[in-house]
């Protein structure tokens, strides 16, 4: 084994992805199916904007794949999170529990409602919200009044929890459902990264009141930009369909809008791309899981890092393959990043904790965010495109 830990990690990654020419991105889209035909059909027929058959086809396809009753396509995942909170009744000056370790869009969407993110810790086992720690924290720091949860310190209502399935790995969602019920808090699943992931045989996004998917260019399937809101509640679904389409009341010619709405409609052109991607999603998942197994074997018993593997009772889409540095080797992270990227292998660290970003430093948070701080320093995402797992 090399005396230089960073060089050894580079060699192992290269042994898995092979000696490919050119730059190997972290996760690039794959267009090898009917994408061109469906997009061309939109152009040829003129149905390129928010009206067209592909939007409905895409929604029905998502419902069939995930097992959810209702999928509402929207322009991106952040818009989906915002709309989800609106229909669940998140109000100005409420607080919404958000993992400190997540992408900034999660917190941004809370502020769109005039509410405040309230940052909570994660756990090493899932990289998601720690249910036991959250329950203990809420027990000590909140009070229930009229079946609503209030922060004892700020006196603000805590109306919702956003639970993210990090890099495609399911959080302990059943335990979080119980915590939310106990403290009268609504549950939104940030499933932006977890299309094709399952918890105890059930697709992520099917546990909370609402869930949100993302179809950004780097996700497991893409519509270029886009997202979807999932729910089993027909009343919520109808309201979401209404407010995400500018709250326009159906009429042959009049423009009647009965409440403040949002222009969050997914264009037909993007939905056409999504329909084609959905057709090959099972093959993407198979290839990505094969790639993950190659990484798992390659890094087995490595003294410096471990490969993050799916937990028992879950099935992950392995959206972004993840290395976690062992505590004695946190200092080699930047050297690994430097060496791998210099060798045309794109790697990157995880996000900076949102609780440390200037727009959010004054927001409420757990005093102990130790696990989130560790994950921030320890994680390296490595190349994860489906084609890398082709046999």
Catalytic residues: 219
**Tokens for 198?**
């399952």
Whole-number Å distance between alpha carbons of 165 and 343: 30
Whole-number Å distance between alpha carbons of 371 and 100: 10
Whole-number Å distance between alpha carbons of 230 and 189: 9
**Tokens for 257?**
């809008």
Based on its alpha-carbon atoms, the radius of gyration of the chain, rounded to whole angstroms, reads 21
- Enumerate the β-bridge partners of residue 213: 228
Whole-number Å distance between alpha carbons of 191 and 264: 18
CB 71 within 8 A of CB 62: yes
Q: Is 97 exposed, middle or buried (0-12, 13-18, 19+ CB in 10 A)?
A: buried
Strand locations in 256-369 (E): 256-257, 305-307, 314-315, 321-325, 348-349
**Tokens for 139?**
């027990």
Strand 116-120 and strand 95-99: pairing? parallel
Residue 128 is given by DSSP the state S
Residue 168 is given by DSSP the state G
Look at residue 190 and give its three-state secondary structure: strand
User: What Å distances lie between residue 136 and 119, 150, 373, CA to CA?
Assistant: 15, 15, 19
> Phi and psi (nearest 5°) for 360?
-125, 5
Look at residue 242 and give its three-state secondary structure: helix
Helices (runs of H) and strands (runs of E) counted in the chain:
12, 18
**Tokens for 90?**
């998140």
Whole-number Å distance between alpha carbons of 41 and 145: 55
């Amino acid at each position: 084994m090399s005396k230089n830990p960073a060089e050894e990690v580079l060699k192992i990654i290269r042994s898995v992805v092979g000696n490919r020419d050119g730059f190997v991105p972290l996760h690039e889209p794959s267009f090898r199916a009917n994408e061109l035909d469906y997009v061309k059909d939109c152009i040829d027929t003129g149905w390129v904007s928010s009206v067209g058959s592909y939007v409905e086809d895409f929604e029905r396809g998502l419902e069939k794949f995930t097992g959810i009753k209702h999928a509402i396509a929207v322009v991106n995942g952040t818009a989906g999170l915002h709309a989800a909170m609106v229909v669940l009744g998140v109000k100005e000056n409420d607080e919404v529990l958000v993992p400190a370790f997540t992408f900034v869009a999660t917190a941004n969407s809370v502020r769109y409602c005039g509410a405040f993110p309230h940052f909570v810790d994660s756990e090493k086992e899932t990289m998601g919200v720690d249910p036991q720690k959250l329950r203990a924290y809420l027990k000590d720091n909140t009070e229930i009044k009229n079946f609503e949860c209030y922060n004892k310190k700020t006196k603000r209502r805590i109306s919702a929890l956003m639970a993210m399935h990090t890099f495609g790995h399911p959080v302990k969602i059943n335990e979080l459902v119980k915590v939310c019920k106990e403290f009268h808090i609504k549950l939104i699943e940030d499933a932006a990264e977890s299309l094709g992931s399952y918890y105890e045989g059930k697709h992520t996004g099917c546990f909370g009141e609402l869930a949100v998917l993302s179809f950004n260019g780097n996700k497991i399937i893409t519509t270029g930009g886009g997202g979807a809101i999932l729910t089993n509640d027909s009343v919520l679904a109808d309201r979401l369909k209404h407010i995400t389409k500018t709250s326009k009341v159906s009429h042959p010619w009049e423009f009647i809008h009965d409440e403040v709405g949002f222009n969050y409609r997914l264009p037909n052109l993007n939905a056409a791309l999504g329909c084609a991607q959905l057709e090959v999603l099972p093959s993407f998942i198979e290839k990505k899981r094969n790639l993950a197994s190659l990484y798992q074997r390659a890094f087995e018993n490595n003294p410096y890092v471990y490969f993050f593997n799916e937990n028992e009772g879950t099935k992950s889409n392995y959206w972004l393959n993840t290395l976690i540095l062992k505590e004695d080797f946190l200092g080699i992270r930047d050297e690994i990043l430097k060496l791998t990227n210099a060798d045309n292998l794109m790697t990157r660290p995880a996000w900076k904790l949102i609780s440390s970003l200037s727009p959010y430093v004054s927001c409420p948070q757990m005093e102990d965010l130790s696990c989130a701080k560790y994950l921030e320093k320890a994680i390296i995402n490595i190349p994860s495109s489906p084609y890398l797992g082709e046999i």
